[in-house]
Amino acid sequence: MNRLLLILLSSSYILFLLPTTVIPIGVNYGTLGNNLPSHTEVANFIKTRTIIDRVKIFDVNPDIIKAFANTNILITVTVPNGDIPSLTNPRNAVRWVNTHIKPFHPATKFHYICVGTEVLHWGPQNLIDNLVPAMKVLHAALVKAGINDVKVSSPHSLGILFESNPPSNASFRHGWDVGNIKPMLEFLRKTKGGFMVNPYTYFGYSPPYEAFCLFKPNNGLFDKATGKRYTNQFDQLMDAVHVSMKKLGYPDVEIIVAETGWPSGGDPQNKHANPVNAAAYNGGLLKKVASGVGTPLMPGRKFETYIFSLFNENLKGPSLDEQNFGLFRPDFTQVYDIGILRGPQKEPTSPSSRPAAPVQGKKWCVPKPNVSNAALQSNIDYVCSHGTDCRPIQSGGACFQPNNVQAHAAFVMNSFYQTNGRHDFNCDFAKTAVITFTDPSNSRHNIPKVTARVSILPKLGNEQSNKAMGIDKGRTGHAVVLLML
């Protein structure tokens, strides 16, 4: 009897240790950086150190595909937009599968093939017209090759929506709805594939609705037609997509979040691009996805979700925001903590959490060597528009001499770092600064002279209006829709 009880207790203990649900959380792995680790190191890091179980890449790089072999990590690859018309030819599609998929399958666990990226938004028309036919022909080529566990889809910007607020009024844009999206949804239903969308609340940000964008407590928005209240913009956008699909007759097709995220840094005018907000959004997103609660109109629905992105990529552009969407730096250190690493898991960083206490000791923030004067001048403009006293570097000020960009930038960047708590992320400046333990003040006279320009940036006005919609082309290669409230 005692032995039986011991066995039952031991079994219960083991079951208690096992996770009750699998978090379908993925990450977009971009490679536009000249300081990124090798693909093998990345694959090993994701497998051994993180809870990420799926990766999406923006090409069919064979080195990346091989690096993820035998890792048990699902990988989604992407057909370049320009290759879409050729894949409507069955012979070309078979050749594409035989080149990019078959040699690596099944050692590499392919999950999806994305045919293009945001094709409906960017066009041109011949790509739009060939998108669904290419998806169908490519799927047939996979089946012909005996590959039945790889699905085909295509991610969309939310520019496909004509309306999103309130969700009950949502619909796809006329022309795309019946001409392109409906046949795509029919294909996805038959193949049990997911409809991929890229909802970025970051690009719909406005100060009055910060809490709504960042999963912070707020009164929410009420949809009178459905009687549902929305306390975050992510739910609003997902239900807008769902309603639009339902109006075409396809509410049952799975919705996949192919891209979403928030940058931890950006251009000086984008003050909402910071580590605290990035941790609030991505942490809130992770918590929502893990909970499985779904949305007001899709209760209990689980969304396969890919955060954008894995690394900060220093060659992206044109804005600094683009370079700072990463969860990790190239050395695998976290930009902020949302509970993505393995081990004893912390709760994702709360939107209201304070930054970690600064390390004690004498530290200074200085520009990195060989940083351009334009970048340093941008840092001066940023700091002087964010409350730091810049009078010492103005004409007649105590630190005006030497009168050059490097010296003035060194002074104001360090002032910003010291007065904001001496946290490491306050000495980032889009990777143009570094923390030093050596007082730099004695070496300023060695800095070459380039006259600095001190300016105060004007505060941005709030021009958003209810139900306004526009297109932001700031994200190179990834269109987003501004869904303003």
Which residues are designated catalytic?
A: 118, 259
The answer, yes or no, to whether the previous bond of 124 is cis (omega within 30 of 0) is: yes
Q: How far is CA 354 from CA 276, 287, 421, 441, 442, in A?
A: 8, 18, 11, 31, 34
Nearest to 297 by CA among 169, 194, 178: 169
Beta bridge partners of 311: 328
3 state DSSP class of 82: helix
Rounded to whole angstroms, the Cα distance separating 225 from 223 reads: 6
Task: Classify the C-alpha dihedral 436-441-444-446 as positive or negative.
Answer: negative
Residues 54, 321: Cα–Cα separation, whole Å = 24
* Residue given tokens 């993180």 in the structure block: 50
Among 371, 379, 279, residue whose Cα is nearest residue 326:
279
Q: Tokens standing for 446?
A: 């060695």
The torsion angles phi and psi of 187, rounded to 5 degrees, stand at -65, -45
Sheet of strand 155-157, all strands in order from the earlier edge strand to the far edge: 151-153, 110-115, 74-79, 54-56, 25-28, 305-308, 255-260, 195-198, 155-157
Cite the DSSP H helix spans in 145-181. Answer: 176
CA distances from 83 to 135, 233, 461 (A): 12, 34, 42
- Looking at residue 299, what DSSP letter applies? B
Q: Are 167 and 236 in contact (CB under 8 A)?
A: yes
